Chains A and B, each alone.
Chain A
């Protein structure tokens, strides 16, 4: 008779890491749909490309590292990384952008650091920043929303565009971005930035059609989609609310202060919320547990820091959107934040390890 021996506890919740990842992947769907609706098939094609590349890469590296391939390949983390990266890419970016990005994210940022759970940076954001720095032209060729397209742009056009860099009829991405009036349309954030540097006030800049009826034509709906996904995740307790909430609150607070100080140079607070990658960042990137802070307080600090950085970089930095940079900077700060926000252990007078603990460590 063989008795089964194990260590307590002998009971366990049914949740699994892979299930968690799957849920997060499903939660991106509303945002992706909005993206598809306003910006065409581009991102969906990129998602396919990036996912395939990511899985191949993961398979390759895992077999090199002699890891259990099946379990880790299907834990969903690689797929999620690929999807998040592809969502961030411009819809007309060439195919090799997403392939390179996914390879970098999986092979370098994730696996070289030791695989799932060991990567200090968010793979998707690190890859995004790498691409942005290496291929600035491709990475800033954003398509305006569907209603502003000057020509017909079908699924096949998109495929052509991504693989040959021109549509079936030979239009280039540049031409797609050209407004009927003859100027190049950029993202609302871009437009705002350029406008402000040329001396226009916010109200003057926002007359541009890319801003649409509310804050940022098309983008606002994409953000709303990701917000919805985020709320689903929160409701399912798949993510913790601390980081997104403190991130959004901080961003709101900063923009409010900016707006009150000089309304001419600062767009409204909600513009910050509903443009760029704000919502994606808040609910899907900052909540990445691996590269974030772990404790509750730590997450509050982490989110707030990211919010502040996004505001600062959007307003004073060289790049129009800032989520990726802010996230990477926060990833770097996360271990430190963790050390300083250790909770007080039950029955102890002083807080965790904190500074004192470090000193102790140094002495040893």
Chain B
């Protein structure tokens, strides 16, 4: 900072890249004083003269207004009023072509001057320092002051900013050829300009005021130096003449060496820039209570006999100014440019009024500007790139613009182009580069608007599709269950497992009820079953169960061998599991399940407390089409993943939201199931078991299942097979859903930067799979004595599935819970691994401290195998 100030004090300035030296032509006007105000017959005052929004019109046709009376009232903080430049009557309020590159028509107030020039009452202010800060800013706002150099940014917003301003830069560069309005203003009114600067200093308290002025205005420099001689912290910075020195970013770079980041504002670097003319207007407004109703306009060009600077009332038609200077141009070949030759625009008619940003009206002669060149091919000479102040590659931009390659254009930073025209000026092939860029920019903006619209439509469509799909699945599932129940009833007597089944069925009913009542999450219900089981089952049964589970694991292993290419490793490990610490295993499993349930419960609480805040109206509309239940779930889903990109804490929220959604699903599913069980209780007391058998049969149809059959044939006991089949089927299902997940995620990630689509589909499929999963689970659980095992396996597999899903590229929604479990912070890449390790750890923590680490690992591997097997089943179930 100090070094910057030192450099400035030594008048050593910086350089910006590029720049050109077009013929200045300032001599045409810079030796004549500013011609005093001239009032035309009719003033045409556009309602909007700056960027932002127009104000409300305060006057009606026929009203008499006084000079300085405001004609509009701002409706937003970004707006400033316009005022009557003189007294007179409002003739009409109508559309008229205004100062706009594309010749737009805008609402204008037509004021007929009465010639009396009668002021509204004014309150002069002797000493602005006695005024309140807010009073000064209010005065500036009310005076309708907006930037008079460039885009016309409302000044009061710029000056009403936080402290810590390092530099207040007064832009007096006036780099455009021909224009001398600021130059003359500085020569003639340096005292008033200084007043304006002092008011700004008073408001902003900058460390240093820098007046950036090009060295081609020696008189103005002299005048300013005289005026500021006794003020220490105002520096007149004389910079070399180079177009576009007056560009905001260029001048800042030249004076302070600071580069304003693309898309950034100078204020972020503690810099505020104001134009000299604006300073003059501020002084007038604050001290003389004179709103911005007139400005200096350079009327120049070799098409005029007497080019000069004129005080013009805002709203003066350009024609009046031109006739004051005696145009020599033939009436049929006329060109009028508003603004300078580099960045000005040609006017379609000559009644366009002068507005707050009009600093020049140019009437060139036929020969003066090279107007009639024809474009030839770009020869890649690179001269355009050499002069570009933004250091762009205009020739490449031009090719991409011609090819309409919008991505490339953005990558080449088209939007950093300041339209300065330096490139087009030097191009030996006379390519109207800037025109190409303007068109391309407009197209890209248009495209972006459309994209956003399309994106919204797509998200809505996908939400609907997902919902329909879900409903269809639910229906099919119901039908399938019904038919299986029927078949099971037929097989019933042959099985002869009635006693056991009765107990199981009773259990199932109890559980279903419980689940329904409490409406807890999937995990919670798992916990419930696990606990029930552990409590009720005799040790013997537990032992049997364990043995079966092991078989199941083995079966799963062989399934992998057949179907899944990731499997061999896992399978081998599971096979090596010769020394089971079975008791512990089941305990561990139960503990894990419990721990998870707790987590889920907690998460649910969180979700409950957090979701309300996160329900964004937009999302509500999105979900609005779905049924009440789903609507809620979707809302949460939408909200949740939206937070995802943020920090970890957000992830937790997401997890919570998902958990809640699941819980609801679960509740519904349970309700349904409870119903069906009660209904079919007489003929099918052991219905669940039958169901299992049937599903095993179904499974057997596939290759993989056949393989199991062969592998297992010598080994076993029917139940093990069943278990294996269940496991497999479940795994398939899970896999399927995670596949779905992948697809949808991929699609929407690619097409949807807003992530809405992603959010929707991701969340949906997650819920789908978990809902199905829990269905299956509750189906299985009541069945028989292998419950403990199965439950444990399910718990693990579910976790695993979640991990797989997230592993496969979707968000870590479920996974977050798992990770939290494992107290492991890092994730995505090897979640699977984390998972495998995490499970036994948990067991250790909570209930089975004695479990040997070896068996833990093995168990974990088995768990992994089971999980995969389940995933497969899920897939299969899907295809069936």
| Chain A residues within 8 Å of B, Cβ to Cβ | 1-17, 19-20, 71-72, 75, 77, 115-118, 240, 289-290, 292, 294-296, 299, 338, 342-349, 352-353, 357, 360-361, 364
Smallest distance from the beta carbon of B339 to chain A beta carbons, Å?
Answer: 8
A11 and B177 contacting across the interface, CB-CB below 8 Å? yes
A117 and B379 contacting across the interface, CB-CB below 8 Å? yes
14 more A-B residue pairs beyond the given contacts A6-B371, A16-B429, with a C-beta to C-beta distance below 8 A: A3-B346, A5-B348, A9-B342, A10-B337, A20-B428, A116-B379, A240-B382, A292-B380, A294-B395, A343-B17, A345-B262, A346-B391, A348-B262, A360-B411
Residue of B nearest to A4 (CB): B335
Residues of chain B lying within 8 A (CB to CB) of residue A347: 249, 259-264, 390, 416
The answer to whether the Cβ of B426 comes within 8 Å of any Cβ in the partner chain is: yes
The answer for the CA separation of A71 and B430 in the assembled complex, in Å, is 13
A346 and B389 contacting across the interface, CB-CB below 8 Å? yes
The answer for the CA separation of A13 and B429 in the assembled complex, in Å, is 11
A–B pairs, 17, beta carbons within 8 Å: A3-B348, A4-B346, A9-B425, A12-B369, A12-B424, A13-B428, A15-B426, A16-B428, A19-B428, A118-B377, A240-B382, A294-B380, A345-B416, A346-B389, A347-B390, A352-B393, A361-B411
Smallest distance from the beta carbon of B588 to chain A beta carbons, Å?
Answer: 44
The answer to whether the Cβ of B412 comes within 8 Å of any Cβ in the partner chain is: yes
Identify which of A116, A299, A364 contacts B377 (C-beta below 8 A): A116
Residues of chain A lying within 8 A (CB to CB) of residue B428: 13, 15-17, 19-20
The answer to whether the Cβ of B441 comes within 8 Å of any Cβ in the partner chain is: no
B382 and A4 contacting across the interface, CB-CB below 8 Å? no
B334 and A2 contacting across the interface, CB-CB below 8 Å? yes
The answer to whether the Cβ of B373 comes within 8 Å of any Cβ in the partner chain is: yes
Residues of chain B lying within 8 A (CB to CB) of residue A72: 376
Residue of A nearest to B378 (CB): A117
B345 and A8 contacting across the interface, CB-CB below 8 Å? yes
Q: Which listed segment binds A: B432-440, B448-456, B831-839? A: B432-440
Identify which of A77, A118, A357 contacts B411 (C-beta below 8 A): A357
A71 and B260 contacting across the interface, CB-CB below 8 Å? no
3 closest residue pairs by CB, A with B: A9-B421, A117-B377, A7-B435
The answer to whether the Cβ of B131 comes within 8 Å of any Cβ in the partner chain is: no
Residues of chain B lying within 8 A (CB to CB) of residue A13: 22, 370, 425-426, 428
The answer for the CA separation of A115 and B390 in the assembled complex, in Å, is 30
Which secondary structure dominates where chain B touches chain A? loop
Given the known A-B contacts A7-B432, A16-B430, are A364 and B407 also in contact in the complex, defined by CB atoms under 8 Å?
A: yes
Given the known A-B contacts A1-B332, A345-B413, are A75 and B376 also in contact in the complex, defined by CB atoms under 8 Å?
A: yes
The answer to whether the Cβ of B333 comes within 8 Å of any Cβ in the partner chain is: yes
B411 and A10 contacting across the interface, CB-CB below 8 Å? no
Residue of A nearest to B261 (CB): A347
Smallest distance from the beta carbon of B290 to chain A beta carbons, Å?
Answer: 33
The answer to whether the Cβ of B829 comes within 8 Å of any Cβ in the partner chain is: no
A2 and B390 contacting across the interface, CB-CB below 8 Å? no
Contact with A along B381-404 (1 / 0, CB 8 A): 110011001111101100000000
Smallest distance from the beta carbon of A296 to chain B beta carbons, Å?
Answer: 7
Identify which of B380, B434, B438 contacts A9 (C-beta below 8 A): B434
B380 and A289 contacting across the interface, CB-CB below 8 Å? yes
Residues of chain A lying within 8 A (CB to CB) of residue B392: 345-346
| Chain B residues within 8 Å of A, Cβ to Cβ | 16-17, 22-23, 101, 177, 249, 253, 259-264, 331-337, 339, 341-350, 362, 364, 369-371, 373-374, 376-382, 385-386, 389-393, 395-396, 407-408, 411-413, 416, 419, 421-422, 424-426, 428-430, 432, 434-435, 438
Residue of B nearest to A75 (CB): B376
The answer for the CA separation of A17 and B381 in the assembled complex, in Å, is 9
Residues of chain A lying within 8 A (CB to CB) of residue B374: 71
The answer for the CA separation of A308 and B356 in the assembled complex, in Å, is 59
Residues of chain A lying within 8 A (CB to CB) of residue B343: 8-9
Residues of chain A lying within 8 A (CB to CB) of residue B333: 2, 4
Residue of B nearest to A353 (CB): B411
Given the known A-B contacts A3-B336, A10-B346, are A361 and B413 also in contact in the complex, defined by CB atoms under 8 Å?
A: no
Residue of A nearest to B429 (CB): A17
The answer for the CA separation of A1 and B350 in the assembled complex, in Å, is 10
Identify which of A7, A16, A361 contacts B438 (C-beta below 8 A): A7
The answer for the CA separation of A349 and B263 in the assembled complex, in Å, is 12
Given the known A-B contacts A3-B336, A8-B434, are A345 and B382 also in contact in the complex, defined by CB atoms under 8 Å?
A: no
The answer for the CA separation of A2 and B22 in the assembled complex, in Å, is 27
Residues of chain B lying within 8 A (CB to CB) of residue A7: 345, 432, 434-435, 438
The answer for the CA separation of A242 and B263 in the assembled complex, in Å, is 33
Smallest distance from the beta carbon of B326 to chain A beta carbons, Å?
Answer: 17
The answer for the CA separation of A139 and B874 in the assembled complex, in Å, is 75
B411 and A12 contacting across the interface, CB-CB below 8 Å? no
Smallest distance from the beta carbon of B415 to chain A beta carbons, Å?
Answer: 10
The answer for the CA separation of A348 and B335 in the assembled complex, in Å, is 38
Residue of A nearest to B376 (CB): A17
A346 and B249 contacting across the interface, CB-CB below 8 Å? yes
Residues of chain B lying within 8 A (CB to CB) of residue A71: 374, 376
The answer for the CA separation of A72 and B438 in the assembled complex, in Å, is 27
B391 and A344 contacting across the interface, CB-CB below 8 Å? yes
With a 10 A CB-CB cut-off, give which of B333, B344, B381 has the most chain A CB atoms: B381
Smallest distance from the beta carbon of B861 to chain A beta carbons, Å?
Answer: 37
A6 and B382 contacting across the interface, CB-CB below 8 Å? no
The answer for the CA separation of A342 and B396 in the assembled complex, in Å, is 11
A4 and B370 contacting across the interface, CB-CB below 8 Å? no
The answer for the CA separation of A5 and B376 in the assembled complex, in Å, is 20
The answer for the CA separation of A16 and B435 in the assembled complex, in Å, is 19
B259 and A346 contacting across the interface, CB-CB below 8 Å? yes
A11 and B341 contacting across the interface, CB-CB below 8 Å? yes
Residue of B nearest to A334 (CB): B380
Residue of A nearest to B253 (CB): A346
Given the known A-B contacts A12-B425, A294-B385, are A117 and B380 also in contact in the complex, defined by CB atoms under 8 Å?
A: yes
The answer for the CA separation of A16 and B264 in the assembled complex, in Å, is 37
Smallest distance from the beta carbon of B268 to chain A beta carbons, Å?
Answer: 12
B421 and A361 contacting across the interface, CB-CB below 8 Å? no
Identify which of A6, A19, A299, A342 contacts B393 (C-beta below 8 A): A342
Smallest distance from the beta carbon of A65 to chain B beta carbons, Å?
Answer: 12
Residues of chain B lying within 8 A (CB to CB) of residue A19: 428
Given the known A-B contacts A2-B332, A11-B22, A295-B382, are A345 and B390 also in contact in the complex, defined by CB atoms under 8 Å?
A: yes
A11 and B370 contacting across the interface, CB-CB below 8 Å? yes
Residues of chain A lying within 8 A (CB to CB) of residue B337: 10
Residue of A nearest to B393 (CB): A342
The answer for the CA separation of A7 and B347 in the assembled complex, in Å, is 11
The answer for the CA separation of A19 and B421 in the assembled complex, in Å, is 22
Smallest distance from the beta carbon of B497 to chain A beta carbons, Å?
Answer: 58
Smallest distance from the beta carbon of B361 to chain A beta carbons, Å?
Answer: 13
The answer for the CA separation of A361 and B260 in the assembled complex, in Å, is 26
B347 and A346 contacting across the interface, CB-CB below 8 Å? no
Smallest distance from the beta carbon of A7 to chain B beta carbons, Å?
Answer: 4
Residues of chain A lying within 8 A (CB to CB) of residue B391: 343-346
Given the known A-B contacts A10-B337, A11-B341, are A346 and B382 also in contact in the complex, defined by CB atoms under 8 Å?
A: no
B377 and A8 contacting across the interface, CB-CB below 8 Å? no
The answer for the CA separation of A82 and B373 in the assembled complex, in Å, is 27
Identify which of A3, A116, A118 contacts B347 (C-beta below 8 A): A3
Smallest distance from the beta carbon of A165 to chain B beta carbons, Å?
Answer: 38
Residues of chain A lying within 8 A (CB to CB) of residue B342: 8-11
The answer for the CA separation of A343 and B364 in the assembled complex, in Å, is 36
Residues of chain B lying within 8 A (CB to CB) of residue A12: 369-370, 373, 424-425, 430
Residues of chain B lying within 8 A (CB to CB) of residue A10: 337, 341-342, 344, 346, 362, 364, 369, 371
Residues of chain B lying within 8 A (CB to CB) of residue A342: 393
Identify which of A4, A289, A296, A349 contacts B381 (C-beta below 8 A): A289
The answer for the CA separation of A338 and B395 in the assembled complex, in Å, is 12
B373 and A17 contacting across the interface, CB-CB below 8 Å? no
Smallest distance from the beta carbon of A117 to chain B beta carbons, Å?
Answer: 4
Residues of chain A lying within 8 A (CB to CB) of residue B373: 12, 16
The answer for the CA separation of A158 and B261 in the assembled complex, in Å, is 66
With a 10 A CB-CB cut-off, give which of B260, B342, B346, B386 has the most chain A CB atoms: B346
The answer for the CA separation of A347 and B386 in the assembled complex, in Å, is 17
The answer for the CA separation of A9 and B344 in the assembled complex, in Å, is 7
With a 10 A CB-CB cut-off, give which of B341, B346, B428 has the most chain A CB atoms: B428
